[in-house]
Amino acid sequence: MGAVSEGDDLIDVVVRLPRKAIEDTLLSMPPDARDLSERRLAEARAVLVGRRRRATHFNGVRFYDPSWDMILELYVA
């Protein structure tokens, strides 16, 4: 039984501790909605460019989900 408890403690340290640190860091950042929306838009554009580039390099291979591509296109528009 001690091993199970020890394993749970290890999970807490390995998974929950870094997650908590990341959450605390993100929450401590000053909220700037305009900057955030601009970054999201830039990230969506970068994802679209990468997806298009990949499609040209691997012609005939389907790596994409058409509905996801449409959602990205609408978000960027």
Tell whether 24 and 1 lie within a shared domain: yes
**Please, what's the largest Cα pairwise distance for the chain?**
57
Of 22 and 76, which is predicted with more confidence?
A: 76
Q: How do residues 41-72 score in pLDDT, each as one tens digit?
A: 888 888 888 888 877 777 777 766 788 888 88
The total number of structural domains in the chain stands at: 2
Tell whether 75 and 56 lie within a shared domain: yes
What percent of the chain has pLDDT above 90?
0
Domain that holds residue 61: 32-77
Q: Give the count of beta carbons closer than 10 Å to the beta carbon of residue 55.
A: 15
Full-model pTM: 0.49
Tell whether 26 and 38 lie within a shared domain: no
